[in-house]
Amino acid sequence: MSTNDRTNEGTNDSANDRAASRVAIVTGASRGIGAAIAQRLARDGFTVVINYAGSAREAEALAGQIEQEGGRAITAQADVSDSAAVRRMFDAAETAFGGVDVLVNNAGIMRLATLADSDDALFDSQVAINLKGTFNTLREASRRLRNGGRIINLSSSVVGLYQPTYGIYAATKAGVEAMTHVLTKELRGRNITVNTVAPGPTATALFLDGKPEEVIERLARLAPLERLGQPEDIANAVAFLAGPDGAWINGQTLRANGGVI
């Protein structure tokens, strides 16, 4: 794991004053929804740890952009499916900033096939990243998050829609929702909330790649609001749960999907 300190110690505006006391790890923040979450939390005054697996250039560019806007960020390479790497990422965040207050479990992959056509690799990769990856970070967070912290897990509205070909992906996300409910109770007494945000179809590589234009059009019109979600729509929901207005929300799944289900 490489961790590059991109903090912007020179600035002294009110956002950075607040950032000094609240630190957020966002997994899978190099691209897509995670990048929008990292950007939004930085604007809300959090110091942000931008986790990524392979997209170092994108992660560094995002950290640079956050700096330019007066925020604070470091990048942290760690494959979330690797428990030792996840531990080192938390170590790095604690070393750089003294502790962690918010964990956003956003890293994920989606591989679609009917159960009949799914091979072992398709099953194993999604379970390793979406389910075990979330477990790895939740375990560290439940041991190390500062009191008063927030945990936000990313599920999907396919838990509920249950379309054909989404079986294994939906199963991993249903598991994420189950862990959310259990961890909420295990963290009793520490003033830490645990919630899930479950997006519907959202305009990122994960959703768009490999889909013909007409399929994208059809799926975009499924929701009564008749458009795809944008990464910023999901970041808004996460920011609510991470911020002061979300303090009383605990153990819930918030479907951010324009009404698709």
Catalytic residues: 169
Interface with ligand NAP, residue 54, by CB under 6 A: yes
Q: Which of residues 93-112 bind ligand NAP (CB under 6 A)?
A: 106-110
CB 258 within 8 A of CB 237: no
Residue that the structure tokens 């994420």 belong to: 176
At 46 the three-state DSSP class reads coil
Closest approach, Cβ 100 to ligand NAP, in A, equals 16
How far apart CA 145 and CA 190 sit, in angstroms, is: 9
Interface with ligand NAP, residue 175, by CB under 6 A: no
Tell which one of 53, 131, 179, 183 touches ligand NAP (CB under 6 A): 53
Interface with ligand NAP, residue 75, by CB under 6 A: no
Interface with ligand NAP, residue 201, by CB under 6 A: yes
Question: Which residues lie below 8 Å from residue 51, measured CB to CB, with a gap of 6+?
Answer: 25, 26, 27, 28, 29, 34, 59, 75, 76, 77, 78, 80, 89, 107
Interface with ligand NAP, residue 258, by CB under 6 A: no
Tell which one of 19, 24, 25, 33 touches ligand NAP (CB under 6 A): 33
Closest approach, Cβ 170 to ligand NAP, in A, equals 10
**Burial class (CB within 10 angstroms; exposed 0-12, middle 13-18, buried 19+) of 163:** exposed
Which helix or strand (DSSP H or E) is residue 143 part of? helix 133-144
Closest approach, Cβ 159 to ligand NAP, in A, equals 9
Interface with ligand NAP, residue 156, by CB under 6 A: yes
Closest approach, Cβ 69 to ligand NAP, in A, equals 20
Judged by beta carbon, residue 45 or residue 108, the one nearer ligand NAP is 108
CB 203 within 8 A of CB 185: no
Q: For the chain, how many helices (H) and strands (E)?
A: 11, 8
Tell which one of 202, 242, 246, 253 touches ligand NAP (CB under 6 A): 202
**Site residues (CB under 6 A) for ligand NAP?**
27-34, 51-55, 79-81, 106-110, 129, 133, 154, 156, 199, 201-202, 204-207
